Amino acid sequence: MKRVVFGVAAIAAVSAFAMLDDDAALNAAREVLAKMTLEEKTQMLAGSGTMTLPAVPRVGINSEWTMSDNSSTVRPSLDRWNWSYPEPKTENTKLPSLSALAQTWDVAWARRHGEVLGAECRDRGVDQLLGPGVNIMRTPLCGRNWEYLGEDPALAAKMCVSMIKGVQSYDVAATVKHFCLNDQEMCRGTVDTHADDRTLNEIYLPAFRAAVKDAGVLCVMSSYNRIDGIWASENKYTQSGILRDRWGYKGLLVTDWGGQHTTEFAVMNGGGIEMHRGDRIQYLCQPSSNRFPLAEAVLRGDVPAATVDNMALHTLYVMAKTGFLTGAPRRTGARNTPEHQRVARDEGAESIVLMKNGKGVLPLDANAIGKVLVIGSGADLKQCHKGCSGEGNVPYEVTLYAALTNRLKEAEVKLMPFCAKLEHAATDTSNATEAGGHVELKDADKWCTEAELKAAAEAADVVIVFTGTELGYQENMESEGRDRVEFDLPAPLQKAMHTILDWKLPRVVVVSRSGSPVGYTWTDKADTLVQTSYLGMEEGNSIVDVLLGDVNPSGKLAQTWPKTYSDTAVAQCGTYNKTNVVYNERFYVGYRWHDKKAIAPLFPFGHGLSYTTFEYGAAELCDDGLSVKIAVKNTGRVAGKEVVQLYAAYPGTKVERCVKELKAFSKVALKPGETKVVELRITPRDLAYWDEFNHRFRTDAGEYELLVGASSADIRASTRAVLAKTEFFAD
């Protein structure tokens, strides 16, 4: 296939599979741009189909640029003009969700996660991956919390940077989304969101900023919502003022599918590529009718030609960076390999959080188990094909029940539903189908009588109760396009959990799966509780690896679990709604809110136990006088990993600050009896707040308390640092 080649030999001599540097990519893009007609330039600003940008053979772009969802797999190929999957559907590895990845608190796992996705994109011929999502968990009801990286901007920022670098190491463009203030799915396409500048900059922008400035992300996707009355896809303040001007972003900006609303206004206010279900692309270039509305606007004098040139240059620049435009060698990919499947399994196990192990039931001894009862039909219900943009198609999927059956070959493993009759209400799925979701609906769950279940439970050596949410579009299911209806699980299911736990059986393990905190009323009765998010195709194996002790759990919560929905900031401040959402809790999100209001959570942010124990030494300042080092010792009998977390507090501050805020973390592996010194590196910029008068970040001179702990509520050591001067930062 013929390509326009710009010094490929010289490029290859430097690095066989390295992206072009910025100058070389811009030069290559400008050369192609100079050859294009106005219509060809506008073609580069709108899809040629649902997941493609057009080929322009006349200038050497002989194939279409191909995109694909999502953040945990490469979605099956879509029809050019709609959301259907042509048969046979393409297959790819399904990794754990981003909510699970966040619970690893491990940037190395984020890198591996990105590399697997990058490799599978390359093998499929996909040039742009539509992930990662980095919106902050403002409300536990948001239907897409499972696709995001938790409630804390520092955690989300560090994890997304590593993932993006992993994806782009395979010459695939990553896409950070959804920019910005898209923190609920309810009425996402019409809701108007409002956040003051300090809240925006301290909570909702840091992960996007890190993606641009630290990871060099090549693509950004705008969100559906309005921001202060203006669509995010047309918002000059966010798209031009913040993204382009302040952060110096050079890559392409793409609307979420169907997020374009105008031609001239969008283009003149920093807009980007228009995408939609292919036959509904209409504002910039209409591929189904071969019309060019944007070119017509230029010819009328409504849009400067230079504006279109600049927009097209961003697209061509990204194509050049990845080697797509220039013919530079691109890294070879692979998919559905044993190595990728092992990553899915091991990453999933690494993410699992041991919430409670009060009687030391875990880990289970496989050799001492004759009968296992698994309660909950969800333990054998596959999830990989659900979730709208998160949908995948996998060569196989291992459920918890299947994994237990495979591992405990000498035992009798029985699956029974809950003693709870659950009916599902009629559900409006129009938002889901419009967003490209493929809907499965339930009328009712299977159920059994209390007597049947109790008899089976009493006959078992171990009872594993599987509860939580599932992916889908009904009531408390989680998915793109809608929020959960209630924080609590259905009352009949809660009652069944109380009933089962009141039997006081000696060995009961509760496994809770969800991508977001769930309202449980029975946790004080559960001695053993394991929390997992959606873990992809190896979910069952990942969970069983932890339950049987092959893997020592080391996951930590990336979200505060409130006791009740009324304890959350959005509930108390009352601005989670369908029309006009004011972020009037400000920067008090998650654990920051609980700290401020002295509300004890059910489980705190950063919480997670182990099959071993860890002892923290004294916190000391490093040579820079600000970073912290601390000795951590494994005081148990088995090897384990601990996530050491550094929070900052602000004694004597004259400016309103949170009680404490996460600033750094590090995951350390320790053998029994082993001690390691962990360094937690921070800079004065990490201690900054947004100065609303000077419109920039500011770190004041003075004293800072640096808190080291195992969670936001379990501080083990502290020290103090003094900064001699006040500093301002450009962004």
Catalytic sites, residue numbers: 256
The C-alpha atoms of residue 729 and residue 725 are separated, in whole angstroms, by: 13
Would you state the structure tokens that stand for residue 523, as one six-digit string?
């946790």
Residue labelled with tokens 């809770």 = 512
C-alpha 46/C-alpha 276 separation (Å) is 9
Alpha carbons within 13 A on the beta-carbon side of 304: 8
How far apart CA 345 and CA 525 sit, in angstroms, is 30
How many angstroms separate the Cα of 202 from the Cα of each of 152, 185, 208, 568, 651?
10, 22, 11, 19, 19
Element (H, E) at 663: strand 661-670
DSSP state of 239: I
Q: What is the CA radius of gyration of the chain?
A: 26
Q: In whole angstroms, what is the distance from residue 391 CA to residue 399 CA?
A: 17
**How far apart (Å, rounded) are the C-alpha atoms in residues 235 and 262?**
12
Q: List all residues 6 or more positions away from 593 whose beta carbon is below 8 Å from its beta carbon.
A: 568, 569, 585, 599
Q: Hey, what are 349's tokens?
A: 């196990």
Q: Which of 619, 512, 525, 528 is nearest to 561 (CA)?
A: 512
Task: Verify cis geometry, omega within 30 degrees of 0, for the bond prior to 285.
Answer: no
Residue with tokens 């009060």: 358
* Closest C-alpha among 667, 684, 676, 703 to residue 627: 684
The closest of 189, 185, 201, 206 to 139, measured between CA atoms, is 185
**Under a CB-based contact definition with an 8 Å cutoff, are residues 567 and 139 in contact?**
no
